[in-house]
Homo-oligomer: A and B are copies of this chain.
């Protein structure tokens, strides 16, 4: 079958690889119906050290279960499922607490010798704990929105939850990528009164406004911080969603959070430490976040996607087949696409 492998910065190839097969009795084989390219895939696309073995890519999918191991109890062949980006056994102490991304037997799709989801199929460990069956067909028009529950919509939601968005809050979303845009949706549905998007790409800004952003700040650095202060009555925002992962972005978050406020980080940190130990201290602000426990959020978000109350599928503004994946990376990297949907 065919799968996407990255061999170094800018070097993405779609190649023939062995078909996946059941290895453990708790495995399932998933045929991929929809996958996509993640903003986080652009990090190695920029800085990956050349590798002969390569890195299998893709960690978001809607698929159909093709086969299951003998110990799989709830997932059945033929079911359409959401595949969250994190593998989780569903039974450990962290899974039971709603933090499947910290599963003691867990891992992230595409690592540990398994292929990723930008592929025709893949092996899913701990299928019962990892996959989430949904009652739709594989030709349902809502698949793009459902696909976002495997990562970006759940991740934007996580940023908002950790940033303690609540009714009446002033919210800043740092980053206008697909996660930031989903952060806007999340902030709005949690009752934010003001949602300020910090971003500068026209297409993304338009979508952010459609999703409920009340203000847009294209300025960066100190100028951007000053503008947010102005927009928030001088005090900053109750809730700040960090959806980028750079040192400049987290610095901005620290500067715009209000005393007593909270920062939710979901951008994979490409900075060594959280700046402003004293600024954060004297503001009594909190900072949290990490890989979103998206599986734990599906129950809450799924009905709203199915009913069309929220429409995160609109972040996909480009569709490619498997052979088009390298072009998809290029388009996202050049900011010509917000997020690329893949139909293997």
Instruction: Report which A residues bind B (CB closer than 8 A).
Output: 93-94, 97, 99, 101-102, 162, 235, 250, 259-260, 262, 265, 268-269, 271-278, 280-291, 293
**Chain A binding surface, main DSSP class:** mixed
Contact call A280/B275, Cβ cutoff below 8 A:
no
Residues of chain B with a CB closer than 8 A to A101's CB: 284
Task: Using known A-B contacts A94-B259, A260-B99, A291-B284, determine if residue A272 contacts B265 with beta carbons closer than 8 Å.
Answer: no
Contact call A259/B99, Cβ cutoff below 8 A:
yes
Copies assembled: 2
Contact call B291/A282, Cβ cutoff below 8 A:
yes
Contact call B260/A281, Cβ cutoff below 8 A:
no
Contact call B289/A288, Cβ cutoff below 8 A:
no
Our pick among B99, B259, B281, B293 for the contact of A289 (Cβ within 8 Å) is: B281
Query: In the complex, A89→B87 CA distance in Å?
Result: 51
Contact call A283/B290, Cβ cutoff below 8 A:
yes
Residues of chain B with a CB closer than 8 A to A273's CB: 272-277
Residues of chain B with a CB closer than 8 A to A275's CB: 272-273
Residues of chain B with a CB closer than 8 A to A102's CB: 259-260, 283-284
Task: Using known A-B contacts A99-B260, A259-B99, determine if residue A277 contacts B272 with beta carbons closer than 8 Å.
Answer: yes
Contact call A293/B284, Cβ cutoff below 8 A:
yes
